[in-house]
């Protein structure tokens, strides 16, 4: 039997707004955490200055959601890893993309933590 620990989602957000706004990025991360039905432990956001990008990470009991932005390109890279099967990554990504007015989203998903059922040796 094959099982996995969680899903890792990598997303590229294009044609975004608010990418230099620390408060907006923080609100977007909080919205994504709530939409995923995840448990927030801590949240850190760092802006690199007016017109510059923002890096943010939501540390979760289930792992993390992070974002790195390039406002000059209207682009943000998103990384979400949530353990278990009950979390709604689609809703989390939609919340994040919506808060940033993303014009386009491309995503890739990976099942993580594969393990094989123990066998007799």
User: Is residue 97 domain-resident?
Assistant: yes
Separation of alpha carbons 120 and 103, rounded Å: 53
Take residue 10 and report the two structure tokens written for it.
Answer: 């990598």
Work out the mean pLDDT of the chain and round it to a whole number.
Answer: 91
- The answer to whether residue 80 sits within a structural domain is yes
Within-domain flag for 121: no
* pLDDT of 86 over the 90 cut: no
Q: Is the CB of residue 75 less than 8 Å from the CB of residue 16?
A: yes
What CATH number does the domain containing 87 carry?
Answer: 3.60.90.10
- Burial classification of residue 3, based on how many CB atoms lie within 10 Å of its CB (0-12 exposed, 13-18 middle, 19 or more buried): exposed
Catalytic residues: 63, 68, 83
- Region 37-46: mean pLDDT is 97
Residue numbers of the domain that contains 58: 2-116
Q: What is the mean pLDDT of residues 110-119?
A: 65
Is residue 21 within 8 A of residue 101, CB to CB? The reply is no
Identify the pLDDT of residue 121. Answer: 41
How many structural domains comprise the chain? 1
pLDDT at 75 over 90: yes
């Amino acid at each position: 039997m094959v099982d996995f620990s969680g899903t890792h989602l990598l997303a590229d957000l294009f044609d975004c707004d608010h990418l230099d706004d620390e408060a907006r990025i923080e609100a977007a991360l909080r919205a994504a955490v709530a939409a995923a039905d995840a448990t927030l432990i801590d949240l850190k956001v760092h802006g690199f200055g007016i017109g510059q990008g923002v890096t943010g990470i939501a540390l979760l009991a289930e792992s993390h959601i992070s974002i790195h932005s390039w406002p000059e390109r209207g682009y943000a890279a998103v990384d979400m890893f949530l353990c278990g099967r009950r979390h709604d990554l689609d809703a989390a990504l939609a919340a994040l993309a919506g808060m940033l007015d993303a014009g386009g989203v491309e995503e890739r998903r990976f099942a993580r933590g594969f393990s094989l059922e123990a066998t007799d040796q």
